[in-house]
Amino acid sequence: MRLILDDFSRDLAHGFRLLRRNRGFAAVIVSTLAVAIAATVTVFSIVDAWLLRPLDFPDADRLVIAFAAAPDKPSEPAVWLPYRAYLGWKEQSRSFASISAAFFRGVTISTPDDARSSVGLDVSPDFFKTFGVAPLLGRTLTESDLTGPPVVGLSHGLWLRQFAGSPGVIGTSIELSDVSHQVVGVMPRDFNVRILDRPEGLEFWTPLRNKTAGYTEDGMGPVAIVARLRKGLSIAAAQSEVARITRTTESGYRMNFNQFVVNLTSLQANNSRTIRSTLLTVSAAVVSLLLIAAMNVGALTLGRGIGRMREAAVRAALGSGRSRLIRQFLAESLLVSLLGGLAGIALALVAIKLFIAWNPLGTLPANAIQIDLRHDRRIDSGSSCGSNRSGDSVAGGLNVSRPRRKPSATTARRETGTGLDDRSGLVRIVTRRIPSARLAAQCRSIPECPLSEDWRARSRSRLASRFVHRGLLQRGLALDYR
C-alpha cells in the first residue's frame, strides 16, 4: 500500500508539472468543468430546497393542505373551503391524526415610534399540534384562548425585530390594528409555514374564534384546512373520504360548495406549485450544459492523449507496464477533474448568494438554499451527476494506454521502413539499423517521468535486446557507432 501511495503521489506531481507546461490546455479544461459544475450545483441546491428536501417539520411528508378547486382543473386551488367543511371533517374523518383550520390576517403593528403592516394567520387550537413543533418560549394557542382575552404567538423574526429577542417577552402586550394582544409564546426560527403562494413566512398567529361572523357551526367563512395524515394512509385515500364528507355536508344547504371539488395535496407540493415547472425546465437546461461540457472536455483530453502516444510508447520501452501507464494517466485526469470540481463549488457558493440576494423568482423556499454535504440519497444523485461527467476526461486520458492491435507486415514496412524476405519459405522481418545518436536523442526527449533510479538502470540493460515503438516489437537491435 505504501508503494502504491508513493507512486500515486509521484503521478500527481508529474501531472501538475505537465499542466504547468500546458497552461492553455489546463485553463480551458478547468474553466469548462468549473462553469458546468457551478451551474449544476447551484440549480441542484435550489431544486433541492424547493422540491427534494422535506420541510423542517416532524414527518413532513404526512402534512397536507386542502382547498376547493374547479371540476375542470382539480389540481389547481380555486377558492377557500368553508369553515363548516372543517367542522365536518374534524367530526367525521378517520384519515387524519390531527386537523386544523387557518386563514390570513393582515394587521398594522403599532409602536410608539412608527407603525407597519404585517401578515399572520388566524388558526384553530390544533394548528401547532398538527405541525408537531414546540414553542421556543412560552406556549402555543389552546382551546381556552378562543373565549379569553386576545392573545398572540410570535414568529422568531418578529420577536427579534419588535422585542430585540428579549426572553421576558411572555406576558407583554403588542398592538395589532389598535387592539392589545398578550404574547403567550414565541416559535423557533425554523418554523416557517407557507400557504397558497405566500412568498415568505408569517409573522404571528392568533386564535380563530368560532363565534365571529362566518365561523359558526354552519358558517361559510373561508379557511385552508391543514392536517396530518395517519401513518400508512395515502393522500388519494384521504381525499376520497373528505370529498364524500363534503358532498354530504354541503347537500344540506341551499347555498353550498358542491360545484367545487376538494383539492388535497402535500404542504410541500402546495408551496412549490407555481414554480415547479420553472425549476424542472432550468434543471433540464443545466443537465444539457453539463453534457456539452463533458463532451468538450472529453474531446480535448482525447486529442491530447493521441498527441502523447509517442511518449507512452517510449515509456513502455523503458519498462513501464500497461497498468503503470494507466495509473499515471488516470492520476493526471483525476487531478484535472479535482481542480475543475473545486473551482466549480467555489463559483456555486457565490452564485447561490447572488440568487438569494436577487431573488428572480420573487419567492424563496422555506428550506435554506445551501450546498448540503451531508450524505444521503439526494446528495448521491446530485454529486454523481457532476462527478460522472467530469470523469469523462479520465476516460479520454486513458486513451494512450489502451492496447493496440498487432500491426501487419505492410503496416510495419510503412511505419518502420522494414522489408520482407520470404526466402526458404519463411517470412523474415529485416529491421534497419538505428543510429545510436538518433536513439540517444529519442531517450533525451522523453519527458520527466516518476521512475526510480534502479528501474531506470534495469531499463537501460534491456534496451539493447528489445525496443518497442508504436506496438511493433523489434529484436536484435544493432547500434551503429559510426
What CA–CA distance (Å, rounded) separates 418 from 420?
Answer: 7
Return the C-alpha cell found at 194.
407557507
Q: Cell 526527449 maps to which residue?
A: 445
Q: What is the mean pLDDT of residues 420-439?
A: 39
Domain end, chosen from 401, 435, 459, is at 401
Does residue 167 lie within any of the structural domains? yes
- Full residue range of the structural domain in which residue 345 is found: 2-55+279-401
Least confident of 433-442, 460-469, 472-481: 472-481
Instruction: Looking at the structure, tell me whether residues 97 and 161 fall in a common domain.
Output: yes
> Is pLDDT above 80 for 458?
no
pLDDT of 23 reads: 84
Domain end, chosen from 383, 401, 419, is at 401
Least confident of 164-168, 213-217, 451-455: 451-455
Instruction: Looking at the structure, tell me whether residues 130 and 232 fall in a common domain.
Output: yes
Asked if residues 278 and 361 have their Cβ atoms less than 8 Å apart, the reply is: yes
Instruction: Looking at the structure, tell me whether residues 379 and 426 fall in a common domain.
Output: no
Torsions phi, psi for 116 (to 5 deg): -145, 155
pLDDT of 223 reads: 95
What CA–CA distance (Å, rounded) separates 120 from 106?
Answer: 6
**Distances from the Cα of 303 to the Cα of 81, 293, 395, angstroms:** 65, 15, 12
- Neighbour count for residue 472 (Cβ, 10 Å): 18
Instruction: Looking at the structure, tell me whether residues 111 and 224 fall in a common domain.
Output: yes
pLDDT of 75 reads: 87
Let me know the angle formed at the C-alpha of 131 by 276 and 125, rounded to the nearest 5 degrees.
125
Q: Which residue has the higher pLDDT, 457 or 63?
A: 63
Q: What is the mean pLDDT of residues 393-401?
A: 44
Does residue 427 lie within any of the structural domains? yes
Instruction: Looking at the structure, tell me whether residues 358 and 249 fall in a common domain.
Output: no
Return the C-alpha cell found at 154.
410570535
Tens of pLDDT, residue by residue over 217-267, are: 888 999 999 999 999 999 999 999 999 999 998 988 888 888 999 999 999
**Confidence bin at 411 (pLDDT 50/70/90):** very low
Instruction: Looking at the structure, tell me whether residues 8 and 146 fall in a common domain.
Output: no
Q: What is the mean pLDDT of residues 13-26?
A: 78
Instruction: Looking at the structure, tell me whether residues 335 and 211 fall in a common domain.
Output: no
Does residue 301 lie within any of the structural domains? yes
Q: What is the mean pLDDT of residues 44-63?
A: 93
pLDDT of 373 reads: 66
Asked if residues 262 and 77 have their Cβ atoms less than 8 Å apart, the reply is: no
pLDDT of 187 reads: 95
> Is pLDDT above 90 for 451?
no
Return the C-alpha cell found at 241.
373520504
Return the C-alpha cell found at 234.
395515502
> Is pLDDT above 80 for 425?
no
Does residue 66 lie within any of the structural domains? no
Q: Cell 428579549 maps to which residue?
A: 166
Does residue 268 lie within any of the structural domains? no
> Is pLDDT above 50 for 197?
yes
Does residue 6 lie within any of the structural domains? yes
Instruction: Looking at the structure, tell me whether residues 168 and 294 fall in a common domain.
Output: no
Least confident of 300-309, 315-324, 350-359: 315-324
pLDDT of 456 reads: 53
Average pLDDT, the chain: 79
Q: Which residue has the higher pLDDT, 5 or 337?
A: 337
**Confidence bin at 472 (pLDDT 50/70/90):** very low
Instruction: Looking at the structure, tell me whether residues 103 and 159 fall in a common domain.
Output: yes
**Confidence bin at 459 (pLDDT 50/70/90):** low
Close Cβ partners of 243 (under 8 Å, ≥ 6 residues apart): 261, 262
Highest mean pLDDT among 15-24, 75-84, 385-394: 75-84
Q: Which residue has the higher pLDDT, 423 or 128?
A: 128
Close Cβ partners of 340 (under 8 Å, ≥ 6 residues apart): 29, 30, 32, 33, 34, 37, 390
> Is pLDDT above 90 for 8?
no
> Is pLDDT above 90 for 443?
no
Instruction: Looking at the structure, tell me whether residues 293 and 380 fall in a common domain.
Output: yes
What CA–CA distance (Å, rounded) separates 8 from 329?
Answer: 11
**Confidence bin at 439 (pLDDT 50/70/90):** very low
Tens of pLDDT, residue by residue over 98-124, are: 999 999 999 999 877 788 899 999 999
Does residue 166 lie within any of the structural domains? yes
Q: What is the mean pLDDT of residues 39-45?
A: 95
Domain end, chosen from 401, 429, 444, is at 401
Instruction: Looking at the structure, tell me whether residues 285 and 338 fall in a common domain.
Output: yes
- Neighbour count for residue 402 (Cβ, 10 Å): 11
Does residue 124 lie within any of the structural domains? yes
> Is pLDDT above 90 for 372?
no
Instruction: Looking at the structure, tell me whether residues 238 and 323 fall in a common domain.
Output: no
Q: What is the mean pLDDT of residues 53-58?
A: 91
What domain count does the chain have?
Answer: 3
